[in-house]
Structure 1
Amino acid sequence: MKKRFKSVMAAVLAGTMFTLAGCGSSATQTASTSTTGGAEASTAAKGKTVIEYWHCNAETQGGLAVEELVNKFNETNDHIEVVAKYNPDMYKGLMQNLQAEVATGNSPAVVQIGWAFLDYFSSNFEYTSPQNIIDQFSPEDKTFLQDNFLPNILELAVNSSGEQVGIPYSLSTPVLYINKDILREAGLSENGPQTWEEVDEFARAIKEKTGKYGFYMQEPADFWAQQGMIESNGASMLTKTADGKTQASFASEEGVEAMQMMADLINDDAGLHLSWEEGVQSFIDGNCGMLYTTIARRAAVQKGAQFDVATVKSPTWGSKERRVPAGGCFLAITAQGDEQKAAAWEFQKYLYSVESMAAWTIGTGYVPPRKDVADAENGLKDFLAENELMKAAVDQMNGVVSWTAFPGDAGMQAEQMLLDMRDQIFGGQVSAKEGMTTTQDAINQLLQ
């Protein structure tokens, strides 16, 4: 489904929309051509269809994997040349640059879109849904999406209007890293806790028996990890009212219970309330027994930890369903014209092949969204056997849910209110019930 770019939103995107905390400068960044080409590539690709692939992977965050994949495609394809362009400042930087590019009448062919911008992107930019592209240019692939992706994974790239905007590409989920040496020292099972109730028990036992901190939950400039804990207890960050409106609903009894548990651990000195970098480093240094953070931190933890480290799946609350929010991005086709669209799909299909998905996972630490990559001989079978920390994230894919994005112009303000609420609760200034109820009411006033 094509969507028309709305110029009236340009000021929003350039201004308040991009006050998203933790993503760096809000100043517009120019997309830079990677070593895969640029104007030179266009000249060298005479007789080929040249398309642009916009991404936000710096060299240390998957950029080398992008370069490897694009180069391999270009070397083996005789009629398409892909030019990869890096956009600084992560997904919000890409959105700013896309806005500027579309305003000039141009558009890249394939773009990475962060989950938090799903509705904004689909409402304000032209794109073609993957199934429409397939039906028009590659009918032999008509069941490609259904054959290769779990329904809950495809759902991540479905907007609030029910349209499949793109295909999930980069997926990260929160897992529980454990220091087996500390668990053994505390007389605990080295298999780690399986529920949040056990996380609480383990953290307190670690503090009592070893004097070290028991648990740290990541606290970056987003509420991602806390969403996983809250929603696994049966709460919902957002719900639809009878008249179809969206409202915040996280201050339920279950949501309050989850946040108060974490606040109590911190207050009793069994849990840590630090910046994300400090918390992860505390675990790597052996000063904290358990770490709840993204699987994308796997390489850093695996490299730095000088102890017996393992991961277990994101805890559940008793026998309740596990719900883990997806981090990362999806790929959308913004190509204009049939030739560009056909080429965009051919490149995308290549990126979603088992071999390319495996290379992307190895190069970035993301979990493959395609369902058959983990067990394939030409996929990740050997890699997963050698990197057991990845297993927990792969095994919990059936519990993946969408990362909450508040609708409308108030979305970014609502996100900041959640962070302020978290700091007050974890810092002991307010109880979970008071802080969550007050914040929920304030967000719902914004959403009206």
Structure 2
Amino acid sequence: MKNNILKGAILGSLLLVGCGKEEKVTTANKPLEIEYWHVASESFGGGTIKELVKNFNEQNPDIKVIEKFNPDMYKGLTQNLQVAVAAKRKPAIVQMGYSYLNYAHDNFDFVTAQEVVDKYFPEDKDYFNTEFLPNILELGQVNGKQVGIPYSISNPIMYINSDLMTAAGIDMNNTPKDWETVRKYSETIKEKTGNMGLFVQEFADNWAQQALMEGNGGQILEERDGKTIPTFASKESAAAYQYLADMVKDDIALHATNDEGFQTFLNGKLGMVITTIGKRDNFESSANFKIVGEKFPLFEGNSRKLPAGGNMLMIMTENSDEQKASWKFMKYLLSEEASEKWTKGTGYLPSAIQDENSEIAKFLNENQLMKVASEQLKDMGKWASFSGANALQAEQLLIDVRDVILSGQKKAEEALKETQEKIMNLVK
């Protein structure tokens, strides 16, 4: 019987890359080059990307994958892709963040992986239906169309500096499970050690903030007549955001760039960090203190609602040979061999169901931080994704209001209402 966590949320099986009839994709005896765009920095899986690309290229001498890092996370990659499309220099395959699912569907020309498989790889025609669970496939769908194939899956967890907590006199048998306790412990850390209590990630997206607001009963978007309408300026959302802003105002929580926040944590000067499980390997390999994981905190009377973070793989090229090469590379990335390296090298949950005796299954059960993330899979839903031509501007407005609220320029209620009105005008 398969592990319940894996069976309920992650996909796949052991498949070999390049099985079936091989089709040569060489040009003049040189390997066909395809670009793979990603968001994995050196401290966020970049080394593993390089290893995976190297392994694939060695196994497939007729193809040469060239990986390209895009800074500023999925917003940066999407903006760069806009430029590449205009210049008619699209990459072959990209990591598209789930938060840009609707935008990618509405604004980019792409080919679905199923279309490529149906046309060139009949032996794989049932691959997606047999190797993916329906709820996982839905992460990459718009109105039933499979825009991208789910690849990396993450959720936000709380990383705790156990040594600093103990130094502050906090019993680590009672790790914080709700926001009231997070605040109480942050006050104690500041009083007893002079250090900051909490930092909530501030990437160029609203992933953690969605979890914050929806965890208090708010809602980011609503689907109306085929459009995504902002609904985040509710009293529930404002109360959640203001709770964090008040912690910043009271100097027990940090409002800073990710580099500053994460480095403060790794320097042992910060008690708790809420960020993606995808940072697990970087934190574990860099910290000189014991890290303990805990689930995303709860607001009293509400359940945990977490957006599924991570990315899907999209094939962008219109060239038939590059499409064939892209599918072979995509299939390799989804294989057990590559999934194990990617999970261990980052912290991302694999999108493939692994056998209960696989190394990934063993790792997910034995690593305490990964186990926390796995246990939160049942609490996950879709990452809010604006639709239409102005989706990038709408997302940026939500990013901008975070600084307005956390820096104390305006109260959350006022700032969210103003931002919602601006976005409403964009998506009309």
User: What's the TM-score once normalised by structure 1's chain length?
Assistant: 0.77
Asked if 1:443 is matched to 2:423, the reply is yes
Asked if 1:369 is matched to 2:348, the reply is no
Q: How does 1:175-214 map to 2 (within 5 A)?
A: 175-184=157-166, 185-214=168-197
Taking only aligned residues, the RMSD between alpha carbons, in angstroms, comes to 3.2
Asked if 1:282 is matched to 2:264, the reply is yes
Q: CA deviation at 1:140?
A: 4.8
- Preserved contact between residue 55 and residue 87 of structure 1 (Cα < 8 Å): yes
Q: 1:328 is matched by which residue type in structure 2?
A: G
Counterpart Cα distance in 2 of 1:62 and 1:180: 25
The change in CA–CA distance for 1:146 and 1:192 in structure 2 (over 3 A counts) is farther
Counterpart Cα distance in 2 of 1:214 and 1:108: 42
Q: Of 287, 290, 310, which residue of structure 2 is paired with 1:328? A: 310
**Residue 336 of structure 2: aligned partner:** 354
Q: 1:359 is matched by which residue type in structure 2?
A: K
* Secondary structure of 2:312's aligned partner: strand
- Preserved contact between residue 87 and residue 93 of structure 1 (Cα < 8 Å): no
- Preserved contact between residue 232 and residue 321 of structure 1 (Cα < 8 Å): yes
The change in CA–CA distance for 1:187 and 1:58 in structure 2 (over 3 A counts) is closer
Q: 2:427 is matched by which residue type in structure 1?
A: L
* Secondary structure of 2:360's aligned partner: coil
**Residue 395 of structure 1: aligned partner:** 375
Counterpart Cα distance in 1 of 2:416 and 2:79: 32
Q: CA deviation at 1:142?
A: 4.4
* Secondary structure of 2:385's aligned partner: coil
The higher-RCO structure (CA 8 Å, 6+ apart) is 2
Q: 1:112 is matched by which residue type in structure 2?
A: Q
**Residue 20 of structure 1: aligned partner:** none
Q: Of 55, 69, 76, which residue of structure 1 is paired with 2:52? A: 69
- Preserved contact between residue 180 and residue 310 of structure 1 (Cα < 8 Å): yes
**Residue 15 of structure 1: aligned partner:** none
**Residue 11 of structure 2: aligned partner:** none
The change in CA–CA distance for 1:443 and 1:57 in structure 2 (over 3 A counts) is closer
The change in CA–CA distance for 1:207 and 1:141 in structure 2 (over 3 A counts) is same
* Secondary structure of 1:379's aligned partner: helix
**Residue 248 of structure 2: aligned partner:** 266
**Residue 119 of structure 1: aligned partner:** 102
* Secondary structure of 2:348's aligned partner: coil
The change in CA–CA distance for 1:370 and 1:263 in structure 2 (over 3 A counts) is same
Q: CA deviation at 1:353?
A: 0.9
Asked if 1:379 is matched to 2:360, the reply is yes
- Deviation per CA, 1:180-235: give whole Å up to 9, x if none: 23333333444522233332333234334544322221223332211111112221
The change in CA–CA distance for 1:431 and 1:108 in structure 2 (over 3 A counts) is closer
**Residue 84 of structure 1: aligned partner:** 66
Aligned residues: 400
Counterpart Cα distance in 1 of 2:147 and 2:404: 37
Counterpart Cα distance in 2 of 1:76 and 1:246: 43
* Secondary structure of 1:286's aligned partner: coil
**Residue 34 of structure 1: aligned partner:** none
Q: 2:332 is matched by which residue type in structure 1?
A: Y
* Secondary structure of 2:350's aligned partner: coil
Q: CA deviation at 1:256?
A: 1.5
Counterpart Cα distance in 2 of 1:84 and 1:163: 28
* Secondary structure of 2:349's aligned partner: coil
User: What's the TM-score once normalised by structure 2's chain length?
Assistant: 0.80
Asked if 1:432 is matched to 2:412, the reply is yes
Q: CA deviation at 1:348?
A: 1.9
Query: Is 301-310 or 248-257 further displaced after alignment?
Result: 301-310
Counterpart Cα distance in 2 of 1:422 and 1:93: 18
- Preserved contact between residue 180 and residue 190 of structure 1 (Cα < 8 Å): no
- Preserved contact between residue 39 and residue 95 of structure 2 (Cα < 8 Å): no
Q: 2:278 is matched by which residue type in structure 1?
A: A
* Secondary structure of 1:194's aligned partner: coil
Percent identity over the alignment is 41
- Preserved contact between residue 273 and residue 427 of structure 1 (Cα < 8 Å): yes
Q: CA deviation at 1:57?
A: 5.3
The change in CA–CA distance for 1:257 and 1:379 in structure 2 (over 3 A counts) is same
Q: Of 138, 146, 149, which residue of structure 1 is paired with 2:132? A: 149
* Secondary structure of 2:369's aligned partner: helix
The change in CA–CA distance for 1:289 and 1:102 in structure 2 (over 3 A counts) is closer
- Deviation per CA, 1:134-193: give whole Å up to 9, x if none: 44444554443344334343222123x441111112333321011223333333444522
Counterpart Cα distance in 2 of 1:84 and 1:139: 27
Q: How does 1:305-316 map to 2 (within 5 A)?
A: 305-316=287-298
Q: CA deviation at 1:358?
A: 0.9
The change in CA–CA distance for 1:308 and 1:95 in structure 2 (over 3 A counts) is closer
Query: Is 390-399 or 52-61 further displaced after alignment?
Result: 52-61
- Deviation per CA, 1:92-131: give whole Å up to 9, x if none: 6655665566667776543332334433333343323233
* Secondary structure of 1:404's aligned partner: coil
Q: 1:283 is matched by which residue type in structure 2?
A: F
Structure 1 unmatched ranges of 5 or more: 1-40
Structure 2 unmatched ranges of 5 or more: 1-25
Q: 1:256 is matched by which residue type in structure 2?
A: A
- Preserved contact between residue 204 and residue 265 of structure 1 (Cα < 8 Å): no
Counterpart Cα distance in 2 of 1:420 and 1:340: 38
